[in-house]
Amino acid sequence: MKKLGYVLLFGLLVVFSVPSLRQKALNLIFTGSITQKGVTIDDIKSAQNKNYQTFSSKNLKVTIHAISSYSPSADAFKFKEGDKEFYVYETSIENISNQEIDPSWFMATYFIEDAKGNFYHNYLDQMTGYYQENPDKYTGEIKSLIDKYYGKTMPAKTAFASKLFFFPVPIGARITKVHFDDPVTHERNEFALRK
């Protein structure tokens, strides 16, 4: 009987030390089946990052972390045309070159394009009213990262934290591409957005 106890203890140690066996054992105990039921952590991460996309020119890497919409609620910031809203692209840039670049070059050349071929340029985010309507979101840290995008220097091999870009578009516009110029070569780049 004592040997059987040692064998069971050894078996439990093996099961709980091997991650795949441990997961199957826990599934069996709690669900009655060794297969995973419900949503996994990977599923949650995938859903949270469904808009995560990366595009690169020769010297600049652009990452879109999230895409959402925003309609100003204060009269001072509402569109005069009632059929418009802002598409908000949470975007970060990385200087992948071996030289210093001007990040404001990206600011000036970052456009989105809809399925009809219409182009929309980003507004300066302070001008949209977003932070005036949501003052709790305009912290010193946020102001600092925004200011970096308007600066003249971005050292080689560095990345900036993400910032919000607001594009005024007709409600229901289907955006298909992003455009930006390489800050060193000044070559134009266009990339299709994943659907």
**Which domain CATH number covers 170?**
2.60.40.1240
Q: Are residues 76 and 170 in the same domain?
A: yes
Domain that residue 85 falls in: 44-192
Is 157 part of a structural domain of the chain?
yes
Calculate mean pLDDT across residues 31-36.
66
Cα Rg of the chain (Å, integer) = 24
Calpha distance 142→149 (Å, rounded) = 11
| Residue 157, pLDDT score | 96
* pLDDT tens, residue by residue, 142-178: 999 899 999 889 999 999 999 999 999 999 999 999 9
Q: Are residues 13 and 71 in the same domain?
A: no
Is 127 part of a structural domain of the chain?
yes
Lookup: tokens for 18: 């091997």
Binned at pLDDT 50, 70 and 90, residue 17 comes out as confident
Is 82 part of a structural domain of the chain?
yes
* Apex 96 CA angle, 94 and 102, nearest 5: 65
Of these ranges, 25-29, 30-34, 135-139, the one predicted with the greatest mean pLDDT is 135-139
Q: Are residues 18 and 51 in the same domain?
A: no
Lookup: tokens for 162: 């993400």
Q: Are residues 73 and 13 in the same domain?
A: no
* Apex 132 CA angle, 130 and 138, nearest 5: 80
